[in-house]
Structures are given as structure tokens and as C-alpha cells.
């Protein structure tokens, strides 16, 4: 470790291409299920995000690139004019507050229900149902049925949806986009052998299974500079009934391809302390750092102390915080002062209005109350 690395902490600025991040704390994408009619962002969304503009970078909640990519109730989209106008209010508010914001683009694949798709089955690389997985619909929790395998001829349409959403994100004033390739959703379903049993050019080898992810990225590169595109991955994650036969081979290949493509950043969901930091095989930042020399962003239950430690060790460049930002709009200032943190209220994580969304107090507000 050199002196420059050891001096880095969460408050050290970072240059992400041409973007100047005022610190290395990133607000993680957090599904809040508060979108309104037409899956337009909540009327409170501009306030919610701008309250947290102290982050070096904000990544929005997962946002479906196309109408067919929805899998949960009241999640926002980026495929209509009304949605673009709604998101423009958010980016304007964040920029006025001195922040930077990327949009996370999403397709849930098999983690959906016919209620969201006009009665049609969800789609996936292969017709394999996720075991024990349910989703929230307008009628409450429902079991997810076995999906329909996408025909090869349908896949270019998925790629076009991501590109169109990327164009809409630019029109709405975002600073960049993040491709959601994690957590058992469509792009992850193609990547991992447990959910992809195709025998065509999108299945079999890791080169084939990664084809859709990189077709999406390559199409977005016609819209955005490469430094303005990130990808989120969850190597070794089991959420949404995911598994892969050779995870180090799979994720090592993807990381190297991302490095060759020189994308803005790799957003890596690591095992949390509760899952075991010494998981086998090791798919932490320690494995990925030599493979991806670009900006490496890590997530996984990070605290102030662990965030500083991973930066000082040179294993990551940026650290994301989820629930801590949810409950503490002024998280950066609280960390800087060593101040107590608000506790998040799980009862208000999903759905509802202002409560548990924009009413968490800052230090100044708490003092005045």
C-alpha cells in the first residue's frame, strides 16, 4: 500500500471520467415502490433524491427500460414521455442541490407475474421457475409462475428497449446510466448457468451467456460516453434462486470484458458480513480488483469503518450505502461529524407516501425540533 492509497477515505473526492465526485460515498439503488399512475416517479421523488445530494453520486432505484420489464408494484419506468418529464424534475432538483445522479436501467425477466404483462407469462432465457419466490402485485403477494423462454428473434427488442431508455435518461438530464446485471433479474439470468440452459448463441459458454449483457452495453455506447455507463453485478448471490456452476470463471470473464470495454465503473455486490466475508469461492473486491483496473464500486452492508478500510486497502474506489442513506439524508455530514444515525423503519420501505420517504430528519432539523 502506498502513501497515496492509505490517505484515501470516504471524504476524498474522486474523478469518474469527466465527472467530479465530491466524495466516495454513493447512494445505492433502492426500490421504494412509490411510483404513481403510469409508473411515473412519485411526486415526492425530487425531494427524496435531492435531500441526499450530499452523496458523491446517486444511483436511482431500479427503473424498467420497457413496460414488459416490470415485476413489482409501483416501480417507475423510463419508456414514456410522462416518465421522462417526471424524472426530469428529479435530475433538476439533484443538480440544483449540487449532486450527480445516474439512472439504473432494469428488466426483471422471470421475476414477474402475468398481472404486470397483460396476462402473458414473464420471459427469461429458459423456462425455469424461481423456487419459492413471490412478487407484490395490486392484489398482494403472488407466486411467480414458470416463465416463457425468449425466442432468439425477440432478444434484439430487449436490447433496443435498453437503448431507448438510455436515450430517455439523457433527455431527462441524468449524468449517466447503470445497467442492472445483478440480483437474479434478466441480464443476470442470462449470465448464470443455473437459469440459462439455452443451446443457441445466447447459451452454453460464458461468452454466449454474456452476449446479451454486452449487446446492451454496446448499444448504450452509441448514446452515452463509456465513462457515463456502469454495470452492477452480484457474483455468487443466491437472491431470486440464482446459482452458477463456475462462478469464478463466469464473473472473471465478465470483469475482464468490462475492463476491455473501459466502462465507467463496475458496481459489485459483495457478500455481507452476515453472509460471511470469507465465502468460498472468494468473489469479493479482492478477486475483482486485479481484473478490473477501472473504477470499482462496492456494496454489501458497508459501515463507515468498513467503507474506509476497503478504500485504504486499495480494493475499491467508491462505496455504496443503501439503508443508511434511506434513513439519513445527510449521511455524509453525519459520518463527518461522527454523529448518531437515524434508524430506518422497515415498515415504510415499500409503498406509501411521504412517511419513511422524505421525513427522516437531518441533524439540523433534529436539533431544531
236 has pLDDT over 80: yes
Determine which of 14-18, 199-203, 279-283 has the lowest per-residue pLDDT on average. 279-283
Give tens-digit pLDDT for 255-278: 999 999 999 999 999 976 555 554
pLDDT (0 to 100) of residue 261: 96
Give tens-digit pLDDT for 179-215: 999 999 999 999 999 999 999 999 999 999 999 999 9
Give tens-digit pLDDT for 306-330: 999 999 999 999 999 999 999 999 9
Pairwise CA distance, residues 297 & 238, whole Å: 20
For the chain, which domains are there?
3-368 (3.20.20.70)
Averaged over 94-116, what is the pLDDT?
98
pLDDT (0 to 100) of residue 1: 43
Averaged over 131-135, what is the pLDDT?
92
46: burial class by Cβ within 10 Å (0-12, 13-18, 19+)? buried
pTM score over 0.75: yes
Averaged over 4-10, what is the pLDDT?
79
46 has pLDDT over 60: yes
Q: Among residues 185, 302, 357, 360, which one is catalytic?
A: 185
Query: How many Cβ atoms from other residues are within 10 Å of residue 345's Cβ?
Result: 12
Provide the mean pLDDT of the chain.
95
Task: Look at residues 359, 320, 352 and name the one whose alpha carbon lies nearest to residue 29.
Answer: 320
Strands 265-269 and 229-233: parallel
Averaged over 164-192, what is the pLDDT?
98
348: confidence class by pLDDT, cuts 50, 70, 90: very high
If residue 158 lies in a helix (H) or strand (E), which one and from where to where?
A: helix 155-171
Q: Is 302 a catalytic residue?
A: no
Amino acid at each position: 500500500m502506498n502513501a497515496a492509497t492509505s490517505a484515501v477515505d470516504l471524504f476524498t473526492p474522486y474523478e469518474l471520467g469527466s465527472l467530479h465526485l465530491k466524495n466516495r460515498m454513493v447512494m445505492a439503488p433502492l426500490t421504494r415502490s412509490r411510483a404513481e399512475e403510469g409508473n411515473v416517479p412519485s411526486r415526492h421523488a425530487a425531494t427524496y433524491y435531492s435531500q441526499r445530494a450530499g452523496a458523491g453520486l446517486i444511483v436511482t432505484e431500479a427503473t424498467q427500460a420497457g413496460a414488459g420489464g416490470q415485476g413489482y408494484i409501483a416501480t417507475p419506468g423510463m419508456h414514456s414521455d410522462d416518465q421522462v418529464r417526471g424524472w426530469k424534475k428529479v435530475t433538476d432538483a439533484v443538480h440544483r442541490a449540487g449532486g450527480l445522479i445516474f439512472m439504473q436501467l432494469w428488466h426483471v425477466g422471470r421475476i414477474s407475474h402475468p398481472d404486470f404483462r397483460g396476462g402473458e407469462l414473464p420471459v427469461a432465457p429458459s423456462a425455469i421457475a424461481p423456487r419459492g419466490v413471490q412478487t407484490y402485485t395490486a392484489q398482494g403477494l403472488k407466486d411467480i409462475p414458470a416463465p416463457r423462454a425468449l425466442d432468439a428473434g425477440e432478444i434484439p427488442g430487449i436490447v433496443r428497449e435498453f437503448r431507448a431508455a438510455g436515450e430517455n435518461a439523457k433527455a431527462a438530464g441524468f449524468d449517466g446510466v447503470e445497467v442492472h446485471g445483478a440480483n437474479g433479474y434478466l441480464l443476470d439470468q442470462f449470465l448464470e448457468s443455473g437459469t440459462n440452459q439455452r443451446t443457441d448463441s445466447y447459451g452454453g459458454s460464458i461468452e454466449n451467456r454474456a452476449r446479451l449483457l454486452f449487446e446492451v452495453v454496446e448499444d448504450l455506447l452509441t448514446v452515452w460516453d463509456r465513462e457515463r455507463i456502469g454495470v452492477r453485478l452480484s457474483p455468487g448471490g443466491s437472491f431470486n434462486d440464482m446459482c452458477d456452476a463456475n462462478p469464478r470463471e463466469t464473473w472473471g470473464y465478465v470483469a475482464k470484458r468490462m475492463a476491455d470495454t473501459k466502462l465507467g465503473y463496475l458496481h459489485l455486490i459483495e457478500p455481507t458480513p452476515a453472509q460471511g466475508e470469507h465465502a468460498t469461492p472468494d468473489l469479493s473486491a479482492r478477486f475483482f480488483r486485479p481484473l478490473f483496473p477501472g473504477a470499482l464500486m462496492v456494496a454489501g452492508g458497508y459501515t463507515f469503518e468498513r467503507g474506509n478500510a476497503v478504500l485504504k486497502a486499495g480494493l475499491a474506489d467508491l462505496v455504496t450505502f443503501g439503508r443508511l442513506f434511506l434513513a439519513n439524508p445527510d449521511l455524509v455530514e453525519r459520518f463527518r461529524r461522527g454523529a448518531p444515525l437515524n434508524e430506518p423503519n422497515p415498515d415504510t420501505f415499500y409503498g406509501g407516501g411521504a412517511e419513511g420517504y422524505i421525513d427522516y430528519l437531518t441533524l439540523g432539523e433534529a436539533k431544531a425540533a
